[in-house]
Amino acid sequence: MSTDSSGLPPAAPSRRRFVTGLAVGGLAAGMGLWRLPALAASGTPRPLQTLSGTDFDLSIGGSMVDFTGRARPAVTVNGTLPAPLLRWREGDTVTVRVANRLRNAYSSIHWHGILLPANMDGVPGLSFDGIAPGETFTYKFQLQQSGTYWYHSHSMFQEQAGLYGPIIVEPRAPAPYHYDREHVVLLSDWTDMDPGALFRRMKKNASYDNYYQRTVGDFVRDARRDGLSATVQDRRMWGQMRMTPSDISDINGHTYTFLMNGTAPAGNWTGLFKPGEKILLRFINGSAMTYFDVRIPGLKMTVVAADGQYIHPVTVDEFRIAVAETFDVLVEPAGADAFAIFAQDMGRTGYARGTLAVRQGLQPPVPPLDPRPLLTMDDMGHGGMGHGGMDHGGMNHGAMDHSSMGHGSTSQAGTDHAAMGHAGHDMQAMDHSAGGMQQHPASETGNPLVDMQAMSLAPKLDDPGMGLRDNGRTVLTYGAMKSLFDDPDGREPGREVELHLTGHMEKFAWSFDGQKFADVEPLRLNYGERMRIVLVNDTMMGHPIHLHGMWSDLEDENGNFHLRKHTVDIPPGTKRSYRVRADALGRWAFHCHLLYHMEAGMMREVRVEE
C-alpha cells in the first residue's frame, strides 16, 4: 500500500463520503496536539473567527482536522481552518505580526490582490526570505483599496494544507449599492493526502483522477450520432495527442472534499437572513486547484464586484469562479425559508454547499450534479482547421508520440523576451482579435515539455465555458462584466509582451513558453510604463494567471479597457490581453494560481525597475 510523506496510508472513504464529507469536519486539536480525538460528525459548524482593527497577531501552527472520517494534519492560523477573517478599512495602515510555530518548516503569508510594497508581499525568494520556525515577521502597509480579498501561504504546499483566509477592506466612501447583511462564502478543496505526496503522484500519473475516459460503448453511441468516419477521426486525433476529452481538471472530487467556510457539504454551513433583507455574499475561491460553478436555485444573483473592484451590476443565475478570484453578489431571498448555495466543481465530480436560511437547521434540497462536460477540439483552439488544427510538423513531434521523444529542448534559457522581442513576443499593434493562424515562440518547437499548440484562438469573453453553455441558465461571463470606472491610467500601452501558457499533460509539466521558472531571466518592466500582456493558452487546461503588486486591466476584443482584475482566467483555446501600469518597484511573482501548476513551473519573476 502506498503512503504519504507522513507515513500514513491514503484514506479510502466511500464515494458518498468523498462527495459530502462529514457533517462538520473541522479542527481535531489545536496547535499540534494531535493525540486529542477528532470532532464528532455532528453539531453546528463554527462561524469564521473575525479580527478587525489595525493591529493583528497571527500564529501559524499545526492542527488535526477531520473531513472524511480520519483525522489528518493541517496548517492553520490561530488554530482555525480557514484562517481568521480580517476586516480592514481603506486608508488605514495595518500591522500584522505573523509568528511561525511550525516545527520544521519556513512559512509565509501573501496578501492576494492587495497593493503594497514588494517587501511586504510575502513571497519567499522574491520579496523576503520567509518566516523561519520560531520567528515572527511583521507586515506593515497602508490600504489603498477596498473590497473582498484573501490571504494564503506562498510556501510550498501550505495553502493546500489549510493556510488561507478571507479579507474584507471596508471602503471610505459608501458602496454604490445597498445591503442589509453580508456573508463571506469561502470555497476550498481539501485532501487527506500529504500535499507533497499528491504532487508526486501527479508527476507519476497525471490522469489518476480521470475516472471518465471514453469506452467502447461511448464509441458506438457517438458513431450512431455522428457517423462512423467522424467518430474514428475524432478518436484518432485524441489518440495522437495522448489526451482525453474527459480530462477537465487534474485533481477532482475523487481526491478532494470540497469545503464552504471550512465545512464539508453534509455540515451544511448556514448564513442567516430575515425576510425582506438584501444580502451581500462575498464569494472567494481559496482552493488550490478547483474551479467552481456556483448557483442558488430559486434566487437571482446580481454581481456587483469582481476581484474587489466595482462593476456595473449584472444579474445571473450562475457563475464560474476560477481559483483566486472573488465575486460580490447581491441576493434577495423571498418565497422560502431556506435556499441552497450550490458550488459544483467544473468536472462535475463533487460539490461544496451551504444554506441561506431564516434559522439554523434548515436543509433545502441539493440539486444533482450537472452532466459531465467533454472537451472539444474547438475548446482547445483547434476547431475548424482540419485534423483538429494540430501543428504536428511545427512541433517536430511526428505523430504526437510524446513517450518516444528523444530530441532535446530548444529552450531559450536566459532570454528576456520583453527586452529582446524574441519570437515576436515584444510586438507593437497586435491583432487582438486573434484572427488567422497563431504564431508560437521558438522555445516551444521540439520541446519535450510542450505536448500541444493551439492554432485558432480568440478571447472568448462572452463564452460561459465548457459545461455551462446552453444549460437553460443565465451564466456570468467576462464580457458581461464591465468596471464601474474608466481606465484609471488612460494611456495606450507603449509595448506588448506575448507569453504562451504551455504544458505536457502526461509529464505534468507546466510553464510559460515551454520554459520553467528556474530556467529563465525575469520579465523586466520599466517603472511607470503602461504595457500590454497577451496570454495565449496552448494547453487543454484553464489557467488563472495572477500578477502580484499591480492590477491587470483586461481588454475587450477591440483592445479597449474593460475590466480591472488581480487574477485573469485564461480558458483553453483563448488568447486574452490586459494592460499593466508598472507603478510598483521591486520583484514580483507572476504565475498560474493552480497551486500544482505553479510548483511544476508555470511562474515567472517580474521586475519593475527605474
Q: What is the DSSP annotation of 406-471?
A: -SPP---TT--HHHH-GGG-EESS--TT--SPPP--GGGTT-TT------S-B--TT---TTTTTS
Closest CA to 271 of 340, 335, 207, 212: 340
> Mutual orientation of helices 216-226 and 228-240 as an angle, nearest 10°?
130
Closest CA to 179 of 222, 208, 148, 212: 148
Residues in the chain: 610
Please tell me if the domain spanning 50-174 has the same topology as the one spanning 176-210+246-374: yes
- pLDDT per residue over 61-89, tens digit each? 999 999 999 999 999 999 999 999 999 99
Distance CA 83, CA 163 (A): 6
**Is the CATH number 1.20.1250.20 carried by domain 442-608?**
no
Element (H, E) at 528: none
First and final C-alpha spacing in the chain: 56
Closest CA to 551 of 291, 307, 305, 286: 307
Q: Are residues 289 and 324 in contact, defined by beta-carbon separation less than 8 angstroms?
A: no
Q: How far is CA 15 from CA 246, 350, 404, in A?
A: 19, 10, 37
Q: Would you state the pLDDT for residue 208?
A: 74
Q: Would you state the pLDDT for residue 43?
A: 38
Distance CA 395, CA 379 (A): 20
Q: Would you state the pLDDT for residue 220?
A: 54
Q: Which residues of the chain have pLDDT under 70?
A: 1-45, 211-220, 222-223, 228, 230-247, 377, 380-436
Q: Would you state the pLDDT for residue 451?
A: 81
Distance CA 458, CA 281 (A): 32
Superfamily of domain 50-174: Cupredoxins -  blue copper proteins (2.60.40.420)
User: Is the torsion defined by CA of 416, 418, 420, 423 positive or negative?
Assistant: positive
Domain boundaries along the sequence of the chain: 50-174, 176-210+246-374, 442-608
Give the position of cell 483599496.
145
**Is the CATH number 3.40.920.10 carried by domain 176-210+246-374?**
no
- pLDDT per residue over 340-393, tens digit each? 999 999 999 999 999 999 999 999 999 999 998 887 767 766 554 433 333 333
